[in-house]
Structure formats: C-alpha cells, structure tokens
Chains A and B, each alone.
Chain A
Amino acid sequence: MSMAHVKKGFWHRFFFSLDHKDIGLQYLITTMFIAFFAGIFAMVFRIHLAYPDVSIPLFGTIGPKEYNILVTNHGLIMVLWLSMGVLLASAGNFLIPVMLGTDDMAFPKLNKLSYWFFLSSVLVLIASFFMPQKGFGGGWTLYPPLSVGDFGYNTAYKSFAGRFFSSNTFVLLAVALEFVSLLMGGINFMVTLFNKRAKGMGLLQVPMVVWMIVIASVLFMFSVGPLVAGTFMLLLDINAGTGFYDASRGGDPLLWEHLFWFFGHPEVYVILLPGLGILAEVITTNARKTLFGYNLILVLVLIAMVLSLMVWAHHQFVAGIDPRAATVFSILTIIISLPFAGVILSFLATLWKSNLRLTLPMKWALAAIVLFTILGGFTGLHLGAALFDVYAHDTSFVVAHFHYTLIPVVLFSGMAGFYHWFNKFSGRELNRFLGNLHFWLTFIFFNGFGIPLFLLGLAGQPRRYAGYDHIPYLSEGHLPLLREIATISAIILVLSQFIFVFNFIWSAFKGKKISSTNPWESTTLEWQTDSPPPHGNFEVYPVVYHGPYEYNRPDTEKDYLPQNQKL
C-alpha cells in the first residue's frame, strides 16, 4: 500500500487501475468507509436504549423514527455491504490471483466494472438518507407491506415522483446495484480459479481460502435470483402501484419472506465460507501443520452449500407458514450443523499436537473459532429447534445469536486475515502493541455486549424496540442493568475499532519496512514474491510442485516447503 513502490497517480490508483490489488484496496476502503457509519449508528441506538433521554451530539434525542432508521441501516450495511464487501470482494481480489500464482483476474475490466457498481450502490444508499423520509426505517429484511408504505409520517409519498424519490426506492436500488457488482466479481473469481492457476497447480492444491471464496460466490449466484425478482416486484409495488405483496389485492406478504430468505440464509454461508477459508490459512501457517482433512473440508462444504439452499424457512417458523412444513425445515436446519461441525473439528485437529506460534493473527483466529462455535453455532441449535424458536423468535436472543455468528466470522476472521496479510500487500509491519490492544478490547467488549443480549432475549425482550423502560416486565430486576452493560460494551467495542483504523493508516505510511517477504514462513504462493507484489505479481511465474500446506514435512530440512520449491 505504500505509494512509493507504485508510480501511479492517486486518481489512477483509486479509480481507474485494473490491478486486482488496487481494486481490492478500493473495496476495502469503500466498505470501511460505509461500515464506519454503521458502527456509529449501532453506538447511537445502543446509547438510546440504555439512556433514552440523553441527547447525542450530531444526532440529538433519538425518537422511534430515527431509531428504526438507525437499526435498519446498521443491519443492511453490516450484512450486505461490510460482510460481503470485505470477505468476498476485497479478500477475493487481494488473494485469489496472487495465491494462484498468476498476474491478475481473468477479466480485469469486468473486475473494475464490478467495483464501479459497488461504489455506485454505496452512493445510492447514502442518497437514501437525503430523501424526504431521511432514511429507510422498515427493517433490514425489508418486509412488505411496511417497506412499501411510508411508515405513516410522510405526505410527499403520494405522487409518482414522491414514491420514486423515497428512501424505500433508493435502498432497493442500492441493494440491486450491489448484487450486480458481486455477481460480476463472483464470475471473475470462478473463471480465475479454473483457468489461471499456476503451472502444475492441481485443483486440490489450491489454497483453501480461494476455494471458499469461489464456493461462496457460486452459492451467491444460486441464491440471489429469487431475491432479485422479489426486489423488482417490491419496486413495482412501491412505484407502479402493483399489488404483489398486498393481501387486499390478491398478493401475499409471506411471498416476500420466502424470496428474501431463500437468498438470506445462503447469504449467511456466503459470508461464513470466506471467513473459514481465512482461518484455514492462518491456522495452518501458525500451527506449522498441514491442513487436516483438506478433501474432507471441501466435501463437507459442498454438502453444506446444497443444504443451505433448503433451510430458509427456519426464519419463518412462526411467520404463518404451515407448522408441518416448519418441521421439515427444522430437521434440515439441525442437519446443516453437521458439516460445519466437521469443518471446525478439522481445524481443531490441525491444532492438535502442533508446535503452534501464538502470533497476533493466530489469536484472532482462535478467538473466532471459540466464539463462533460455542456461542454462535450452538445457539443455532436452540433456534433451529422450531419449538424453542416459538419463544425466542424476534427476541434479543436471535440478535445475540447472529452477532455471535457474524462478528467472529467477519470481524475476528477478517482481522486474522488482515493482520496476517497486511505486511504482504503493504511491505510494512503493523504496530504489534496496538494490534494486541485492539484484539483484547474487541474480545472482552464483544462478549460484554453479546452475553447480556442472550439473557435479555431469554427474559422475553422483543427486538427492534425503541426503548423498553415503559414495559413493566422488561424494566424490573437485573434487566436494565444488562442493557446498560450491553450498551457500554458496544460503545467500547465500536471505539476500539478506531485503534485498528489508526494502526492501518499509520502503518501503511510510516510502519517499519519488513525485512523478509515471508515473515510467517508460509508455503503458499503469495509469500514467494515481493512485498508488495509488483504489478503482475511475479517476476518469474511460479511452477507448483506441492499442495498448499507442506509444514514440518519429514523429508525436508526446514519446517516449511513452499509450493513452488522442488524437493
């Protein structure tokens, strides 16, 4: 990331470059920019929940309308823009070509176009805050009829122009643009994997993270179609007066829930898989062991991919679907825990009897596994059992559950990857003290936020409420204290991410130059070239002789054998 290495102007580098590393950086900066707002939103509405009367600088006192807008956009941005933007688009762009030992993506211009679409989706999303509604407040799941209407507060909504220039329309357009962008990106990842591998690299010698990103992209392609159709119908309902989701005119609001979650649940795995891929890289490198059960992991993930297309209605156990259908989805949902249990166990087997190095990326990775498995995965069993979901659905228990799946995957695995690869793509070292501080603050205060939410959910606290103090059963005993702990922790959690932002920017320009191009002594191809890799990635294109994780091979002297080194 240091400018000195690359003789390219600012505009070229940040807007027109076709180099996959530049595009990866553009994705990273764009998603961090928009996630900054989503984090601030979370802070603001958490403050409102614990201290309803406090006036917050720049936001004022939060009313229910502002509260809904903040909650909705926090969810939308974190799930659709941050998670996919970082783990699919940015990580995919940085890693795939250089890990496959090639110069760039298969279609660099399509890659560029996909970023331009991504950027425009972000701009349209930002524009939605400047429409008369001042932002979309119908929940990130966009359930009609609420998302069709004006939430009961805006008269400008009546005319055609009023309906088009509304937050609802703009949010839907932003979602559509982002999907176009990710589809183009996914096609690129796929073609690059299958056509541009280094000489000698078999399909089962590809680093796991590349497989995971490509499988995630394929899953995204399989699942996104119905939602695009659904979004189009929702746009027509808002702008052209159709009634696809309007029960009084023969439509059905439940239709949207099916179309949305047919995409929405695989989406969880679209985010999870790249996260698991990053964990595989960080764990093998630091455990100094080959990945345990490479083939098994691939098979399990492919099984999970197919299953994930058949579990969507577990979001709708009590939404009015036939209870007998819910039974089927409950069984499938519980079954899908098995392949992921296998993947996690393979990682744990990789750690077993290893002389592991407890580096900073490794700390993030281990924390990701522990939090994801114990508090994210196992609470998924609770919710997957339809009977318990009757009680827990739409309570804070669900909120805690999906934060414990998404934050370990996106934040912890993402950070593991960031601290692992930063030196490769910048040529500089990160400040280790700030890195450790960031890790421990994030770890402690994420739990300080999440565990109270589980307890609040079990106490029957419904989610998305702009305050609970007026409800007697939720304002007695220890519950207000739990909300306060969650709020304070969430604030510190968000603020500690600024340590990372500072560390990132400061180290990118002023960090210590690294002395080795392979500081972790890793085997995959990205470590066998300069840091940062030059335009075209390699001076001499590598030829691959081994699988990706040849650590501590008995017939070698050193404890690692790079993929491109002959025995």
Chain B
Amino acid sequence: MKIFPENVSDYGHQIDSLFWIITSVAGLASLIVLFLVFYPVLTRNKQRSKDEIYVKGRGFKQLKWIYLAIFIMAVADFSFLIIESDGWIKIEESLPQEEFHVAVVGKQWLWEVIYPGLDGKLYTADDIKKFNTLIVPKDAVVHIDLSAYDVLHSLFIPHARFKNDCLPGRKITRWVKFTQAGTYPMVCAEMCGIGHSRMIGKVVVLPQAKFQNELAKMYKK
C-alpha cells in the first residue's frame, strides 16, 4: 500500500520526508503517552500510601519532568521548523529563473490555461487559451500565474505536491519543475460551488523536443 502518490516534481520528496520525520517523532511521543495512560490503568490496584499519592505538583522539584518534556518537545518543534524552512524558502519564498511561463485561471467549473503566443510573452494579443489541459516541459522550471474569474479556486497537482489558491483580483506566481514525463491530474481544492468535484484537468509533461512540437502545433491552429 503506498501512502503518497508517486512524486514527479523535483521538490516533492522534501515535503514527503518532512511528513515522515514529524510522523516518526510524533510516533515515539505517542508511545510515551500510551504508556503514561495505560501503565496507571494496569497498576491501579497496587497498594499505595497516602503520602505517595498526595502530590500537588507545585514547585520546580515536582514539576521538573513536565518542564523537561516541554523543553524536549520545544527542541523537536524547532527542529521541524528548521528542517521545513529550507524547503519552504526554496518552494514558496523564492522563484528560480523561469524556463517556461504559463497562466492558469480558475473559472466555475474549469481551468483556463493561457500559453504565451509566438512572442513568448504572456498577456499579449497572441496568447493561446486552452481548457483543462496544462502542457509543460519536463526538467524545466515552469512559472504558473494563478488567478480566478469568479470565486476562489485552488490548483492542486497531487503528484507534484503543488497547491496554491487562485483568487479573483490577484496574480500569484508559483513554480514547479517536473522530473518525469507523463499525464497527471490537476484538481480544484477550494470549495467553488456545485461543480467543484468536476473541476478536474490534466497536466501533460512532455520531454523538451516533444513539448516544442506540441507548442508549434498549437500556434498553427
């Protein structure tokens, strides 16, 4: 049984491994919690003196274990943040040099994909509009301009670990780099009305040569 869908972007593995790091630390902590709940339950009939039982939990001496546990958890938390920040800065905060630029606009209930025309620039008269199919080159940094016409949408490409909301009135640029050719789903992840679950498109990742061919075909039409 595989947990995640196959990863096809160059940064996806960072997100997956963050999950496994947090899960293993949390798993260890879970075992401790289970022990702290079940051990008292199992030993509940043991003879204990009142002096042993009457503990108020005041002062550093009695609370030291709790402070220690909070401290250990703080260390774990901050290591998560440090591990995460590397990926977050790379994926979300920075934009590497673009090799292809495309725009995806959400609309009830389809994806409008805008390719630059022959001039290679977006938002000019010769732009080409397609619906529900995003064709991108393999092994190239693709910038995607996200926005929406009507309500909020969210472009989600599970296999690439890519997700960002599309808002009317804003142009948000995010990037992705596919490392494997193939056809992958792209879905809407933000409730957008009755057609929400039908707002399904596909991402076609082509090797450079084939991609250029496909682009040329689009220009001819």
Contact = CB atoms under 8 A, between A and B. Distances in A.
Interface of A: 63-65, 68, 137-139, 143-146, 149, 151-153, 247-248, 251-254, 287-296, 318-320, 323-324, 326-327, 330-331, 334-335, 337-338, 341-342, 344-346, 348-358, 366, 369-370, 373-374, 378-379, 381-382, 385-388, 390-391, 393-395, 455, 458-460, 462-468, 470-473, 477-478, 551-554, 559
B220 interface: no
Contacts of A289: 53-55
A379 B19 CA distance: 10
A152 to B, nearest CB: 6
B139 interface: no
Given A381-B26, A458-B3, A462-B188, 13 more contacts: A139-B191, A152-B108, A152-B195, A292-B56, A293-B56, A320-B165, A326-B92, A353-B53, A354-B44, A356-B40, A358-B41, A378-B26, A387-B92
Contact of B84 (A251, A387, A393): A387
In order of increasing CB-CB distance, the 7 nearest A-B pairs are: A247-B169, A460-B158, A293-B57, A292-B57, A378-B26, A465-B197, A323-B92
Between A319, A324, A559, the greatest number of chain B beta carbons within 10 A of the residue's beta carbon is seen for A319
Given A146-B191, A387-B14, A466-B196, A352 B77 contact: no
Interface bin, chain B: 35 or more
Contacts of A552: 50, 53-54
B175 interface: no
B4 A386 contact: no
A385 B163 contact: no
Contacts of B170: 247, 254, 320
A146 B196 CA distance: 11
Contacts of B125: none
B15 A296 contact: no
Contact of B48 (A353, A477, A478): A353
Contact of A295 (B58, B188, B197, B200): B58
A253 B152 contact: yes
Interface stretch (B61-69, B96-104, B127-135, B206-214): B61-69
A390 B197 CA distance: 20
B22 A153 contact: no
Given A373-B33, A462-B156, A338 B74 contact: yes
Interface of B: 1-5, 14-15, 18-19, 22-23, 26, 29-30, 33-34, 36-37, 39-41, 44-46, 48, 50-58, 62-63, 65-66, 69-70, 73-74, 77-78, 80-81, 84-85, 87-88, 91-93, 108, 150-152, 154, 156, 158-159, 161-165, 167-170, 172, 185, 187-198, 200
Contacts, number: 282
A247 B19 contact: no
A138 B55 CA distance: 52
B36 A351 contact: yes
A48 B163 CA distance: 27
A378 B29 contact: yes
A462 B93 CA distance: 24
A47 B58 CA distance: 51
B37 A335 contact: no
Contact of B195 (A64, A251, A395, A478): A64
Contact of B15 (A252, A318, A390): A390
Given A292-B56, A330-B81, A382-B23, A393 B151 contact: no
Contacts of B196: 64, 68, 464-466
A294 B30 CA distance: 24
Nearest to B46: A355
Contacts of B4: 458-460
Contacts of A323: 88, 92-93
Contacts of B197: 64, 464-468, 470
B33 A553 contact: no
A296 B84 contact: no
19 contacts: A64-B196, A64-B198, A137-B193, A149-B193, A247-B170, A289-B55, A319-B167, A320-B165, A326-B92, A351-B40, A374-B30, A386-B92, A388-B15, A391-B158, A395-B189, A464-B197, A473-B185, A551-B54, A553-B54
A463 B66 CA distance: 37
B181 to A, nearest CB: 17
A459 B188 CA distance: 15
A396 B188 CA distance: 13
Contacts of B77: 334-335, 337-338, 381
B213 to A, nearest CB: 26
A393 B88 CA distance: 15
Contacts of A385: 18, 22, 80-81, 84
B163 A355 contact: no
A334 B81 contact: yes
B66 A349 contact: yes
Contact of A145 (B22, B34, B150, B162): B150
A472 B87 CA distance: 29
B159 to A, nearest CB: 8
A408 to B, nearest CB: 13
A291 B55 CA distance: 8
B111 to A, nearest CB: 14
Nearest to A377: B26
A458 to B, nearest CB: 5
A295 B59 CA distance: 10
A390 B51 contact: no
B44 A318 contact: no
Contacts of B65: 345, 349
A248 B168 contact: yes
Contacts of A379: 26
Given A320-B164, A323-B88, A351-B36, A356 B44 contact: yes
Contacts of A356: 40-41, 44
B191 A464 contact: yes
B81 A331 contact: yes
B5 to A, nearest CB: 5
Contacts of B80: 334, 381, 385
B201 to A, nearest CB: 11
A71 to B, nearest CB: 8
A252 B169 contact: yes
Nearest to A386: B88
Nearest to B169: A247
Contacts of A338: 70, 73-74, 77
Nearest to B31: A374
A341 B56 CA distance: 19
Given A338-B77, A374-B34, A470-B200, A149 B151 contact: yes
